[in-house]
Chain A
């Protein structure tokens, strides 16, 4: 199962590296720039938006692995239990990757998938925090915050998703989508 590299495409390795690098940059942007903006209503989760978009384009495998790696990195940089956001991000990446095939069908699919991923991810963070640590939010607050994150994600998707699709096409040398 670790034969990712020798399965006839070195493209995959490059995809993993680019995905993880993008998410790491998004993570720093999240804590140093977005978190300081004080957006009305809640927060935009840049990392979840990018992770969902990457999973939607590249599939569950890339989504789960890059989500896990960046999640561990984010956990190391935080003060909560190690592995907590790795778990959530890994699951979000995998789940969004499963609807990869439907993404070509309609514009609404990426919007719904990325918005839904932000809502589910934010709720997941709140849930894992209240299980493994002290509850920082009440249930109602968590739901409101998740919905706000979803709205921001939907607003951001039209900019992020086409850009990442273009990057992915260039990386893969139009192996996948270009064939259609």
Chain B
């Protein structure tokens, strides 16, 4: 039965033709199967939501679930109690972690006067691992819509690329197709941040070649119709192209893609541009990039005078 028979060869040929037909249709007509995709997204979204809700606590405490079915003697019962308490502790830690993330997000949203809808990441990428997207558990019913900005407590995450009733797919800023209008801190100089360099690097192109981009410069979103302004993007790590009409630089994003958990979708924009308010306070010179991450302790508030050298560095050239 069915080694490499004539029939199985016919079937594979038919399937290959079907696959190429699908590819051609979808590639030529753009988003041709939006209806079917929507159905699959909303069906899978519910399942994925349930799966991540169940597996997340279990993953942390799987070691403490020792003998679930044996209540025969005292020792076993005590072990059971112990496991239960340990699980509760782990749950508490999880809740504490979640509430801290929520608090951080709230703080950032308040600084920018954004209205955000908080959501959790319920699926990462797709089966091929080449899509730079995440699925979140908030959708149209929560006010999330296509092209809304998504951020977390660290900064810009991406934009909503499609939304169903209860889930939405977020295209990350590091996706090769993603382009985000950005400006340098303290200036109004416009550029674009593009992905395609992997998860921990972005490319910044400054349109005005007469201005010098420097290592350590920080970027925020420029803002447009659906895109809110002032969301921190990242910090310049290397200026790559100094000739030509525009300048490009490598940018290290504030958000680390690997640890995305709680995100917020900006559903309401502030009346005025929040400017550079959302960037972490920093008065150290641009030279000391390695210590920049260490100096970025939350809660330093308004002080931000590390007492080190050269505080007069303000204008960036």
- With the chains together, A81 CA to B130 CA distance in Å? 12
Q: How far is the CA of A28 from the CA of B124 in the complex (A)?
A: 10
Contact of B19 among A68, A101, A137 (CB under 8 A): A68
Q: Which chain B residues border A41 with CB–CB below 8 Å?
A: none
Q: Kindly state whether residue A106 has any CB partner on chain B within 8 Å.
A: no
Cα A73 to Cα B22 with chains together (Å): 12
Within 8 A of A (CB), among B10-47: 10-12, 14-16, 18-23, 25-27, 32-33, 36-37, 40-41, 44, 47
Cβ distance A79 to chain B, nearest Cβ, rounded Å = 6
A1 to B32, CA, bound (A): 29
> B184 at the A/B interface (Cβ < 8 Å)?
no
Interface size class of B (residues with CB under 8 A): 35 or more
In A82-103, the 8 Å CB interface with B consists of 82-88, 90-91, 94, 97-98, 100-101
Residues of A within 8 A of B133 (CB): 78-79
> Once the chains bind, are B162 and A79 in contact (CB under 8 Å)?
yes
CB distance from A172 to the nearest CB of B (A): 9
Q: Are B129 and A36 in contact (CB under 8 A)?
A: no
Pairwise interchain contact A82-B40, C-beta atoms closer than 8 A: no
Q: Identify whether the interface residues of A are mostly helix, strand, loop, or mixed.
A: helix
Of residues 32 through 78 on chain B, the ones whose CB sits less than 8 Å from some CB of chain A are 32-33, 36-37, 40-41, 44, 47-48, 51-52, 55, 59
How many A residues are at the interface, by size bracket? 35 or more
Q: Is the CB of B130 within 8 A of A77?
A: no
Q: How far is the CA of A86 from the CA of B2 in the complex (A)?
A: 21
Question: Is B33 within 8 A of A76, CB to CB?
Answer: yes
Task: Give the most central of A35, A58, A61: most B CB within 10 Å.
Answer: A61
For the complex, give the distance between the alpha carbons of A81 and B22 in Å: 9
Contacts of A38 in B (CB 8 A): 258-259
**B7 pairs with A136, CB closer than 8 A:** no
Contact between B48 and A28 (Cβ–Cβ < 8 Å)?
yes
Tell me the smallest distance from the CB of A170 to a CB of chain B, in Å: 17
Hey, which chain A residues are within 8 Å of B3, CB to CB? 59-60, 98, 100-101
Further 14 A-B residue pairs, CB within 8 A, beyond A60-B4, A81-B26: A1-B14, A31-B123, A31-B126, A33-B55, A45-B127, A77-B44, A78-B128, A78-B133, A79-B131, A90-B19, A94-B8, A94-B12, A125-B128, A134-B175
